Each structure stands twice: as C-alpha cells, then as structure tokens.
Structure 1
Amino acid sequence: MTLQQRLHNSQWRSLLSGADNIYFAPHIPVKKLQGAMTYISAAIKPQDIVMLIDDTVFGSAKDGLCLTETELFFKEGFGEVYQFLFMQIQRVEADLGIINHGLLINGTHTLNFSQLDKGTVRALAGLLNELCQPPQQQQQTQTHQKEKVQLNVMHYLFAYFITYPTGQWSEASQRALTDYFAKLKNPDVNQSIAYLIQQPPYTDYEDLLHGLAELKVEMSYEARMQMIESLVYVMALGQIDQEQAQRFMVQLCRVTGVSPAVWADLVDAVYGGMQQDGQHADVPLTDEQHQACKLLDISPERLSEQSLQTAYRKKMAEFHPDQYQQLPEAVRQLIEQQAQQLNQARSILKDYLNI
C-alpha cells in the first residue's frame, strides 16, 4: 500500500481535512505546489507531493510541511529546511506552546507552526506516527495509542477537577486521586498517576474539552457515560461546588454527545453519596448484595440511596413495555423476568441501606 493510500484511509485525515491550509493529493492547488517547491529538494517533482501544509500568512506555501512517499520536508518562516526519511522517524509528539505549536521529531527536532491550532497539531502528530510505522504494525499500535490517548485526556481531566478550587496540588488531592486509581489495580495507570501528581495541574480546560471531543468517535456511548460518571465523582472528591459540578457535567455531556437527560440525577446522586460515605463502610456486602450491585451497574464504593435510585431508574427505562409490544410473547416474558430481577436487586440494596 502506498503512503498516499494510507493517507486516504487514515483515521486522522478527516480531522485534518477541515483545516483550510492543509491539502491532499490530487487536490493540491498548483500555486501551493509552486510555493512549496522553493524549499523542497530539486530531485522531487510537484506530482510527488501527497500532502501539503501552507504555514504562511498570505498563502504562498513557501513555509510549511510537505510529504512525499518516502520523506517529510519542513520549512519554518525565516528558518532552515528540515528533511526526514520516514524510516528515520521513531516518534512524533505534539509540542504545544502558548502562541506557536509544533511537532517534536524523535525528541530532538522541533518543527514550529504559526498557522495551526492545538487540535490540528495533535492530529498531525497522530498521522505522522501512523505513517512512520510499517503497515503490518499499524492496527495493533493504533489500538494501543487510542487507549493511551484516552487515558491521558481522562487523567488530565481528573487532575483538573480535583485541583479546581485551588489550581494546585495538595496532599489531600494527591492522596484522593492516587487512592481512586489504586482501586483499578493497573500498574501502568498507577505509574501514570504517580507522574501526573508531581506535575503542575493542566489548567487549559477548553483544550482538555477539545481533546475529549476528538476521542468521542473512538469511545462507545457506554464508555463515555462511565467516564462522565467518574469525572463527576472526582469533582465531588475535589470539593467543587455542586452547582458548578452540574455545569461541568452538562458541558461534558455536550462535548461527548451524551444526553444530559440520561444523567439528570447524577450530580445529586454522587454528592449525596459522598455525604453518606462511611455510613456503611464497616459493613461488608454479602455475595447477594454484590450481585445486586453488579446487576444495577453500581460500584459498591458508591452505593447510596441516591446512586441506587439513579441506577434503578436508568435500568428500568430499558424495560419500558412500550418498547416491546411488537415482540413475541416468549421474548416479552423474558424481559419481564429481567425487570423483576432489577426490582429484587433494588429491594436487597434498600435493605442494606436501611431505606
């Protein structure tokens, strides 16, 4: 498969195509090609260019980036020309500054752009990392990278919310975040959090939302719902005002495409549960109670009257009779049995909570 074909099939192309200064062959304007040829090797012909980024203010394309089947060329305004063979590139990182944003090649060479925003630079880094891999390694590596990017964005959001009141780490916030992730028993995650709490909290909330929006297409609806639930829990750990937490939750729902109606009582449930923390901490759940929590998708650590009520409503909404009137009788009976199991699970947990 040629590099141009890989460009066409790349998940990153759709994110980059929206920029008005990024072009893909065969739709690169002739004037742009002519401008780019001023800094590209004389051995390269205009038809060899498969992607072009014009990083000039007036559109001459005499500064920017070009890709051929085997090489990357870059020219910064009033700067030198860089040329890399793809086989020489081991990794590409987004280097995001206050004004200019760039790419860090192999940890040593920085390619600064003046006309690209943060989101575009991040997508460009993702594309180049993909193109620099042998095709047979792409699928496995792409899956790993997606998971890593998702975790990074989530971790930074966790750090943002848990330090929101002060904008800096405290012993309490560091301990709360560490304890929260320790429950996952994932060494890689724990290592990432240990590093994160040693760094100043990332305070560009709009940038974090932008990164979250880019992940939307990579995450299932259920995963996005679970993420929002976890973030609201961290807001409570960070002692964010409940009204502010509600506003944050609505923003997160909007960015991730999750209906706020699904989580109408989420903030009340989480904050109410936090207030009741410790009430049942010394009373371990029985196997039956654990099974009831599992059936209702409630984390035992978050079990409270509010969380039980919210989870029960959400689950029962899936079994509304109007949705199944056209199904065979046997199927309807099975659905009714599942609804009865939910009722029984709620009853078991209500007894545990003494409500």
Structure 2
Amino acid sequence: MWKIIPVITICICAAFFSDRFSRKDERLNGYVYKEKFIWTIAIVVSAIFAGLRTRYNDTGTYLETYNLLTNSNFDFSDIKWNFGSNFGYNVVTITLKSLGFSNNGYLMVFAIVTYGIYIWFIHKYSTDFLMSMFLFICLVFTFPLAAIKQCVAVAFCLLAVDKAINKKWFWFIFWILIAESFHAYSFMYLIVPLLFFVPWQDKRTVMWIIIFFFAGILLRPMIGTVLSITDALGEEYTAESFNEGGVNPLRLLVCLVPLVLSFILRKQINDPYNEVNRAEGLCMNLAFLNGEIMFVALFGTANYFARLANYFYIFPVIALPRLFNMVNPKWRTLMKVCVVVCYLAFFYYEINIVHGRFDDDFRSIAFNEFHFFSLK
C-alpha cells in the first residue's frame, strides 16, 4: 500500500487547499466561489501515477494486446463497426500505435482522459470537494488502473450527464454513443432523463427500489432473457456463469449507504432550507442506482452485474457529502470521523485483501524512464 500513499496524499492536499481558497455558502449547500487551479494537481498526479504503471490487475492483458497489434499503419479494416465490438476503443488504440506511442504513452493517454474527466466532474458538481476526493480515492481511484475500456466509457458518460443536467439533449445522446463505442454497458445511462427528481419527494424513489428488488428475486427465472440481452451487446455469458457466486455482501452494504442515509434524512432532503437542485437530485438517484444494481448482483454473477453497478460508482462520491451536511450539526463532526475511518478500512480491505496486496501486484517505471513515443 506504500506505493499508492504518496499520490493519495498529494490528491487530498490539493483538494484541501482548493477548498481553502474556495468559498462555501452559509448553509453548506454548495459553493459561492470555486478555486480554479489547485484542484487540477489531483488530475496531473493521478494520471502520471496511472500512466507509469506496467502491471496491475488487467494492465498486463491490455499491454500484451497493444504490443501484438499488427495493423498499426492506420489500418482499420479488421474493425467490426457494431457497438458491441467496442470499435471506438479499437480505433483509438490503432491510432496510438500508428503514431508510435509507447506502452506507457498508451496508458497515459487513457489515464489523462479518464482521471481528467472524473475529477473535473467531481469538482464541478460536488458541494464538498475535499470529502468527495477522499471518497473518490476510497471507492473509485484504483478502478481505472484495471478496467481501461469501461472507465473511459464512464468518463464519456459523465460528459453526457453534464449535458443532460444543462438540458442539452443532442450532446447527451452524442456522448452516450461515443461511450457506447468504447464499452457496451454505456447504454445504461439512457436512464438518466428519468431520474431528474428529488429523492423521496414522491413515489418514484420507492418505485425504483421495488423494480430492482424484484429484478434480484426474479433474476434466475429470467436468465434466458438476460442472456439474450448480453448476447446483443456483444458479451458472451452462459447460464452457468449466472449461477456463480454473487457480489461480496460488504461491497453491497457500502453501495447501499447513500440510499439508506437518504431514507433517514428524507425530511431534510425535502426541506426547502436544503434546496436540492437538479444536479444534486440526479446524482443522488444515480448513487441509489449503483446500490440497487449491486443488490441484483447479490443473486447473480458479480462479474456481470457488479460491472453494471460500477458504471454508477462515482455518484456516491458526489451524493454522500451533500447528505452528510444535512445531518444535525451536533452530530456532523462525529459522523464524518466515523465515515473517514470506515471508508479507509474498506479501501484497505479492497486493495490489500480482496484483490491481493496492492504493493505486490502494482509495478511501474520511474518518471525519468517515461517516453510518450517508442524509442527506436
């Protein structure tokens, strides 16, 4: 874990000083002014850390595929152009190879795009950037080190969400299509227009909970339908794969925190004093969706449904700090201390126990060994 501590420290310090030079409103409902430069240090450090790696989780598989790429003269003739084939990712990869990008140059490009958009989105929509960056590190930070295609697709989906919040529907569809060309599950974001409401204000929140509850209970009887959907998306799953073990219950509990906390604070959410706006309501509902899909993963293969849930893993990072500031002020500090301790424990559990020791699995080159282009 020592290898990741320096980058975590710098990111948290950047978020801390960015908050220090920003100004929040008196009710802690958001910012009157947001600092415009210091927060970008977190993007630079995160991208460099990710771009210098040579091994971690699926990184080796990505690099092996990149090294074996033979059609590197802007030859796109072998690409399948249906959305399930991830042709957008293939086009970019062939282009990078054709331009002579090195292995780490290839990784660096995707790291810059992914971490850049993630942290930009958090900075734009979080009402507590420091707490959001802490949660981002605990919940999301290591995921782009493994699932490159999925994470860059999520980044483009965040651009789509930004356009939806601003009611620019043409660009919303545009970015969804771009994301879909990188990873098939991006279609999940087409649900966004249905989630522009304040949680617990009417029956819609309960309706979505009931839908996903029965989706989990009825998953096994509906395996044939699910397999047809995954086949149409270009994913190959068998009925046996859906009989594998479900998601880790601890991971499910972590994903359900925003939903449970929002239920406890439902009166505060609907209090005009707290003024939950269009963007905040959407981020809360998408955070709930992360937990609701993860609930379905409890009954089926974690490999499929947990991957679907991970498409919305970033929204608790924005929703939770907003909910924390609705807690009674006399309990707020104690609650935040408990949050920090619990999420740090979960972070340690994830990267040192569930997936093996981080320091044993992660390898990287030194910064002075990095070259964007291959040396010949």
Normalised by the size of structure 2, how large is the TM-score?
0.29
Greater share of residues in strand: 1
Judging by fraction of residues, say which structure has more helix: 2
Larger Rg: 1
Structure having greater relative contact order (Cα 8 Å, sep ≥ 6): 2
